Structure 1
Amino acid sequence: MAHLVLCKPTELYNILNQSTVFSRLAEPNYLCLLDARSKREYNESHIVTARRAKQDKDENFLLPESVELECVRYCVVYDGNTSSLNETGPAIKCARVMAQVCRYTVLVLEGGYERFSAYYHFFRSQKVFWMPQEIEEFLSYPIEILPGLLYLGDQRQANDRHIQKDLKIKAQINVSLDPDKSLSSAVHNELHIPVMDSCESDLFQFFSRACEFIDMYMGPNSAVLVFSKLGISRSSTVVIAYLIYCKQYSLKEAWTHILKCKPNMRPNRGFVKQLSDWENRILGEQRTDIADPHY
């Protein structure tokens, strides 16, 4: 039997926005998102791709049909506003039923639909049925590193006017050789860091400038997006460097945080060495052993 754990809104946001070539939502065993509210509330509006949790005539929650829960990586349940595992609302009741067959931890959305939709109103939906092609073509948003403040993304997301508006992105750091911006971009504050994704590229020389740029534009109703072509190596390196600088995280702590937000992030070995040197400069000592295969 699986355990129940509260899931913060930013965690669910990042789960929904994982992608490679296609959205990970297209993988049948990736996410089962269940809305435990009433049918009326669900029909009015729910979180995108959520299915309504069904009940029998005695109001006992039923396992979702055509879902192999024992194989699903993320099972997330929500109701209106559950904020504690000690509550006895529909989300907890539903999650306990799911936990009987799930292999992984069952997540209960903290604050429920009310809090999530307040943070991410653009992920509200009335759509009930999704075709496989629609799921594959689901356009992901940038990954949220610091809630409402700092995002990590790719080139497509950086040039999407809707994303810029929804996330209140007022500045961007472009970590790629290509300086060109799409005509659809509404962001005028941009720092261009022209480096290749190569072990020989010197990204270290730009760390201080990038951190100062983020500090300059990040604040209430003003977020910063750091992006590269795919959002995997160069941009994640800059974001890790910022966490070391801003939060005084060790390289290991910053790495763990970014990996939790974006599991496919992967700075190349040259960038890892430069991050180790940056850790030494900012913290005054080398706290992380990068010889560990983890890096």
Structure 2
Amino acid sequence: MSFLSELQAYSHPKLRHTTTRVTNFLGQIHRESKSEDGTFQISDRSTDSNGIFMIIDNSPDEKLHYVIDGVYIGSQDSAVNRAALNEFKITHIANVATGIRNAFPEQYEYLNIELLDTPETNIRNVFARTNEFIQQAIDNNGRVLIHCNAGISRSSSIVLAYLLEIHRMKYEDAYELLKKARSNIRPNDGFAKQLKEYAAEIAQRTENQPSTAS
């Protein structure tokens, strides 16, 4: 039987049911499947960028979490919580979310870098810019909020990079400090790998610096 004949003989009922994995522009993942009536159904569970299933929580997450002097972390909800921004005397906001506009450009100085929360994103490319932005704000007696969409992966990676480079913290110590500040932080696997490589390079660079001892 020719290939064409095989195709013609194959009936629709013989086709197997399939589920499609879909990643949106935020890096969030869900599953789509086609029902008997021809419509597409989206599962009520999503997976994070590490492939772990989670229930989507749409409740507001408006709190600003203190990390270290001058540095706060939060979600996109915290970035529009004007009362809290004023309460904590925020002067600068690093917005590394996707699709989130600056809410109060007349009041705060912003740094905008759109990042996808996917392991393949090269987040190390922005560490120099974000570290400089954060440190310049602090040097001028300012306070910085770093936020992404959920306040879990991208913003935490930016804060960790700052702690590694500027405060010369070990990765484990920086992670523990940030985890205490905001318990649900979790850089995706790709970001965690890049941060550990970044920490190793900083340690190597520090080790190779000439001693200033007399």
TM category, shorter: 0.5 to 0.7
Instruction: Give the aligned partner of residue 166 of structure 1.
Output: 87
Q: Distance in 1 between matches of 2:141 and 2:167?
A: 20
8 Å Cα contact 1:199-1:268 kept in structure 2:
yes
TM-score after normalising by structure 1 = 0.47
Task: Tell me the equivalent position of 1:246.
Answer: 166
Query: What's 2:192 paired with?
Result: 272
* Preserved contact between residue 96 and residue 148 of structure 2 (Cα < 8 Å): yes
Following superposition, the deviation at residue 140 of structure 1 comes to 4.3
With over 3 angstroms needed to count, the CA separation of the structure-2 counterparts of 1:261 and 1:241, relative to structure 1, is same
Letter paired with 1:159: V
> Given the alignment, which residue of 236, 257, 263 partners 2:177?
257
Counterpart AA for 2:71? L
Residue of structure 1 in register with 2:142 after alignment: 222
- 8 Å Cα contact 2:76-2:97 kept in structure 1: no
Structure 1 runs of 4+ aligned residues shifted over 4 Å read none
Distance 1:238 1:252 in 2: 15
Q: 2:98 aligns with which of 158, 177, 189?
A: 177
Q: Does 1:156 align with 2:89?
A: no
The equivalent of 1:143 in structure 2 is 65
Aligned residues: 149
- Distance in 2 (alpha carbons) for counterparts of 1:187 and 1:238: 23
Runs of 5+ unmatched residues, structure 1:
1-19, 23-136, 286-295
Q: Secondary structure of 2:77's partner?
A: helix
Report the structure number with the largest CA radius of gyration.
2
Using structure 2 for the length normalisation, give the TM-score.
Answer: 0.64
Pair 1:208–1:220, CA change in 2 (3 A):
closer
Counterpart Cα distance in 2 of 1:142 and 1:210: 18
Contact 1:158 1:185 in 2 (8 A): no
In the alignment, the residues of structure 2 paired with residue 174 and residue 154 of structure 1 have an alpha-carbon distance, to the nearest angstrom, of 10
1:176 is displaced (CA, Å) by: 1.7
Partner of 1:29: none
Give per-residue Cα distances to partners, 1:169-222, cap 9 Å, x unaligned: 11111112225122x565431111111000111110000110011010025752
Aligned partner of residue 93 in structure 2, secondary structure: strand
Paired with 2:184 and 2:77, the residues of 1 have a C-alpha distance of: 17
Mapped contact 1:164–1:186 kept (Cα < 8 A): no
Contact 2:62–2:74 at 8 Å: present in 1 too?
no
On the 8 A contact 2:62/2:75 being kept in 1, the answer is no
Code of the aligned partner of 1:259: K
Q: Provide the rounded CA distance (Å) in 2 between the counterparts of 1:168 and 1:237.
A: 23
Letter in 2 for 1:210: T
2:203 is aligned, of 283, 286, 289, to 283
2:35 paired residue number: none
Cα distance in 2 for residues equivalent to 1:193 and 1:225: 14
AA aligned to 1:141 is K
Q: Is the 8 A contact 2:93 2:111 kept in 1?
A: yes
